[in-house]
Amino acid sequence: MTLADRTPPTVEEYQAYRTRLSNWGRWGANDQLGTLNHITEETVCAAAGLVRAGRRVSCANPLATEQVLSGPRNPTPADHRMSIGQGGCGDYIGVSYHGFVNTHIDAFCHIFTSDAQLYNGRPAADVTEHGAESNSIDRWRSGIVTRGVLYDVVRRRGVDYVTFDQPVHGWELEDIAKAQGVTPRAGDAVLIRAGATAFWAAHPDFQPPWRAPGVHASALEFLYEHDVALLGWDLMEAPGQDDYRAPALPIHSIAIPYMGLPLLDNANFEELAGVCAELGRWEFFLAVAPLVVNGGTGSPVNPIAIL
C-alpha cells in the first residue's frame, strides 16, 4: 500500500489500480453515477449545515476567449460574438472546453481504457458522432451538491506553487486534512490548490501544459480509500509519470474509466483560499451544475462554494 508507507506506486502497483481501485459493478450494472453515489441525501443536508457566514465564492476561470488568454496554452479560444440591435442585444458562445484553460467537469465517456471500454464496462463504441449513448454529462443533470474541502497545498508548504520535484502525494493530503482540522468523509469533493495562477504567471510560455507540476498518481489511493465523490484541481497531473504507461494522463486514466470519479479541471481556488484562511475553516457547501448536453463528454461549469 503506497499510501500507508508514503511511497509512490511502482509501475506494477499503478497498473494494478485498474482492478484494485475499480468501482465497476459496485453500484450495479446500470450505474452511470460512479462515485457520485457516495453523495446521499444525508450528505447534502450535512453540507448545507456548513453555510454559516453566507459567503459565496466562484471557483471558475473566465471562458478563455482570445482576449482573455492568447498563446499556445489556449490553442482553440472560446468564441464570443455579439449581436447588437436597436432595442437590445444578444450573443453567441462556443467553447472547446477540454484542455488546460477552461474550468470544466469531465463525464465518464471522456476517457477510454486501454482496451476501449468506458466506466462500468460499457464499450467505447457508445461514443458516436451524435454524442455518447452512455456515461454522458446529461446523466448528472441534477447537479453535484456536497461538502467541499479545500486542500490548500501551497499555503501548507508556504510557497506560491508546487514544483516539479515535489508533486502532491496522497499522504500529503492526509497531512493537510489533519492540519486543517478536517476529517475526510464519504461523498466529499476534494479540491486541491496547487498554485496554478502563480505558476502560469511565472511561466507564461511553459509547454506543453500537461507537463506542468501538480498531483501525483499516489493521490488515487487517498481518493479511493476515503470514498471521495469528486476531485477538483487547479493544476492537474504531475509530470515524470510516463513509465506508468497510462493511455491518457495517469490520474485521468484511472479515475474516470475505472473509479468512475468525476474530475473538475482548471478550477480557480485563489479567492476561496483567502476566504477559508479568513474564516479559519476549509470545509463548505459546494454546488457544481453541468450544462445538460445530451451525449456530452463534459461541460463548462462555475462551481460555487458557500461558507
Per cent of the chain over pLDDT 70 is: 99
- Tell me which CATH code domain 2-61+103-306 carries: 3.50.30
Span 50-57, average pLDDT:
98
Span 25-44, average pLDDT:
98
Confidence of residue 76 (pLDDT cuts 50, 70, 90): very high
Q: Is the pLDDT of residue 1 over 70?
A: no
With H, G, I as helix, E, B as strand and everything else as coil, classify residue 73: coil
β-pairing, 230-233 with 189-193?
parallel
Span of 28-37, 88-97, 120-129, 203-212 with lowest mean pLDDT: 203-212
**Higher confidence at residue 233 or residue 246?**
233
State the pLDDT at residue 248. 85
Span 8-33, average pLDDT:
96
State the pLDDT at residue 247. 86
State the pLDDT at residue 241. 58
> Does pTM surpass 0.85?
yes
Per cent of the chain over pLDDT 90 is: 94
Interatomic CA distance for residues 72 and 273, integer angstroms: 28
Span 242-271, average pLDDT:
94
Helix then strand count (H, E) for the chain reads: 9, 13
Q: Is the pLDDT of residue 133 over 70?
A: yes
Interatomic CA distance for residues 287 and 230, integer angstroms: 11
State the pLDDT at residue 2. 80
State the pLDDT at residue 243. 74
Span 48-69, average pLDDT:
97
Per the structure block, which three cell numbers stand in for 161? 506553487
Q: Which residue in 106, 107, 121, 127 sits closest to 30, CA to CA?
A: 121
State the pLDDT at residue 275. 98
State the pLDDT at residue 64. 96
Amino acid 73 reads R
Interatomic CA distance for residues 242 and 228, integer angstroms: 26
Confidence of residue 177 (pLDDT cuts 50, 70, 90): very high
Domain ranges for the chain: 2-61+103-306, 64-99
Q: Is the pLDDT of residue 240 over 70?
A: no
Q: Is the pLDDT of residue 31 over 90?
A: yes
